[in-house]
Structure 1
Amino acid sequence: MRLTLATYNIHGCVGLDGRYDPGRIVEVLRELDADIVALQEVDSPGHHGLELLWRLAHEVKLTPIAGPTLLERKGHYGNAVLTRCSPADVRLMDLSQPGREPRGAIDMEIACNGERLQVIATHLGLRPWERRLQVEELLKRFSRRHCVLMGDLNEWFLWGRPLRWIKRIFGHAPALRTFPSAVPIFALDRIWVRPPATLLRMEVHKTPRSRQASDHLPLKAAVEW
């Protein structure tokens, strides 16, 4: 089984020019052509549902899985996954901490070519103490031999405890710079795969469109079991 994975913080479809343009995000998703894409900061301003997610899924012909962390009358906001595989079981995790922006994760089983894969897609908090608590909760959930953790971890410190804990479970994974998209300095967006030997390659998706569409660049990985 060979799959292409990607994680992409779409910044509510607001590009570096300050313009809201879902069409640019659609174009980047088409460039990625991934089997499973974890999305962060999926926003639906001025609406009462998840219209943006459904639009993106329709345009790229992938199945949407919603994981909103803010549910409001003016619109929903949070995480999502787009996939061409078959979602077998989906569980939403609340990783919110008192006094901080609500955070969560999508913990799902995906069926691909007769195999089962556990994928957790997340967007962690900005404070170090938040991330430590959130990573502890996430790592308790992994139960399958074949599994993936991906998303915007907001971890600025490559030597921080959360990353050390993740490496104990998943082993080493490249830390590639994805933020800010114009001149990437920080490896905020990450993909880990278990077993680590199944990772064939990983790369930052740098194109003229991806540099403009969001303040993050997408991260893309090819895996084979």
Structure 2
Amino acid sequence: MLRRWITARAPASRAARRNPQASGDAGLGECLRLLSFNIQVGISTGRYHHYLTRSWQHLLPHSGRAVNLQRIGALLADFDLVALQEVDGGSLRSDYVNQVEHLAQLGNFPYWYQQLNRNLGPLAQHSNGLLSRLRPSLLEDHPLPGPRGRGAILLRLGEGPEALAVVMMHLALGTKARTRQLAYIRELIQGYRHCVLMGDMNTHASELLENSPLRDLGLIAPQTCATFPSWQPQRCIDHILLSPQLTLERMQVLDAPISDHLPVAVEIRLPAALRDQQLIALPHAN
């Protein structure tokens, strides 16, 4: 029955959606603050047994989800560019709220995009999400190879050889499928000098940098702190990887056990030539 909602899709250029509630144009400074967060569709998980006792929330709405999204929105408001994983695009379980759009409103982000990876109709809208204070010069939606249901968003800021390419992703659990996906992403960023890869990558930084198709890029993994599970972190599977030409100002795994993953944040200094392109940003909500 569900197969009628699960259809193949092709890579495509997209336009970011506008949040009309965001206002007050301001120039971007020298640095860019980035965050990656797997929000588990707004479910608060604080113990292993919650995977069982709260599993019904993956299917049905719950009043506590709105409160949790408010907490997530307040956290996101401190950042310029946010990658979200395990977001619902508006179905029964989220009370038909598009969580990407809702978080854009809560965090005062002018640009957002929802990547729908598993369309289960009214039952679930499994998605990745993008929130940005900067207007993308390019936005592409890419289904990833392997079992259906995984995707990557390619965002470009600026133009020309100094443009910044950002790929947001949620990779597969299996090693073989993940390797195929990383090879695909490797091709996406071919030719870009400044790159950021961010998301739930379901493997450790050493594996990504030493044994994956990314190994020849010289990428930097600023953090190796555990991010999962949030209440007793043991595995470092959420990452923001940087090309060596980018200058890292600050890195942090946030102590915010709102989901079953902890959010990862970095602040980078933008290349001078990219700052000279006068990218437009909006001020933080706080």
Query: Given the alignment, which residue of 61, 82, 92 partners 1:37?
Result: 82
Q: Percent identity?
A: 28
Report which stretch shifted further, 70-79 or 8-17.
70-79
1:58 aligns with 2:105: yes
Aligned partner (choices 106, 114, 117) of residue 69 of structure 1: 117
Decide which of 62, 66, 69 is 1:25's aligned counterpart: 69
Shifted more, 156-165 versus 213-222: the winner is: 156-165
**Aligned residue among 37, 40, 46 for 1:11:** 40
User: Structure 1 residues 125 and 205 mapped into 2: Cα distance closer, same or farther (>3 Å)?
Assistant: same
1:108 maps to which residue? 155
1:165 is displaced (CA, Å) by 3.5
Match of 1:80 in 2: 129
Q: Which residue does 1:172 correspond to in 2?
A: 220
Letter in 1 for 2:267: A
Query: Does the Cα contact within 8 Å between 1:26 and 1:60 map onto a contact in 2?
Result: no
Deviation of 1:54 after TM superposition, in Å, equals 1.2
Q: Is the 8 A contact 1:49 1:76 kept in 2?
A: no
Structure ID, larger Rg: 2
Choose 191-200 or 6-15, whichever is displaced more. Answer: 191-200
Secondary structure at 1:166's aligned position in 2? coil
- In the alignment, the residues of structure 1 paired with residue 210 and residue 87 of structure 2 have an alpha-carbon distance, to the nearest angstrom, of 25
Partner Cα separation in structure 1 for residue 155 and residue 139 of structure 2:
4
- CA deviations on 1:125-157 (whole Å, 9 max, x unpaired) are 011101110000001111321121000001158
Q: Deviations over 1:104-141 (max 9, x none)?
A: 100111249xx732110000001110111000000111
Letter in 1 for 2:201: L
Counterpart of 2:252 in structure 1 is 203
RMSD across aligned C-alpha pairs, in angstroms? 2.5
Matched AA of 1:148 = V
Provide the TM-score with structure 2 as the length reference.
0.69
Contact 1:9 1:39 in 2 (8 A): yes
The alpha carbon displacement at 1:49 in A equals 7.1
Q: Give the direction of change, closer, same or farther, for the CA distance of 1:167–1:30 in structure 2 (3 Å limit).
A: farther
Q: Which of 140, 153, 157 is the aligned partner of 1:91? A: 140
SS at match of 2:185: helix
1:168 to partner: Cα distance: 2.5
Change beyond 3 A, Cα 1:72–1:164:
closer
Q: 1:101 to 1:179 in 2, by over 3 A?
A: farther
Query: Take 1:195 and 1:79, find their aligned partners in 2: how far apart are those partners?
Result: 26
- Contact residue 34 and residue 79 of structure 2 kept, 8 A: yes
Q: Which moved more, 1:158-167 or 1:119-128?
A: 158-167
Letter in 1 for 2:120: E
Maintained 8 Å contact 1:48/1:73: no
As a proportion of its length, which structure holds more strand?
1
Are the counterparts in 2 of residues 171 and 196 from structure 1 also a CA contact under 8 Å? no
Q: Which residue of 1 aligns with 2:11?
A: none
Q: Is the 8 A contact 2:115 2:141 kept in 1?
A: yes
1:141 to 2:183 alignment: no
Gaps spanning 5+ residues in structure 1: where?
none
Give the letter aligned to residue 134 of structure 1. Q
User: TM-score under structure 1 normalisation?
Assistant: 0.86
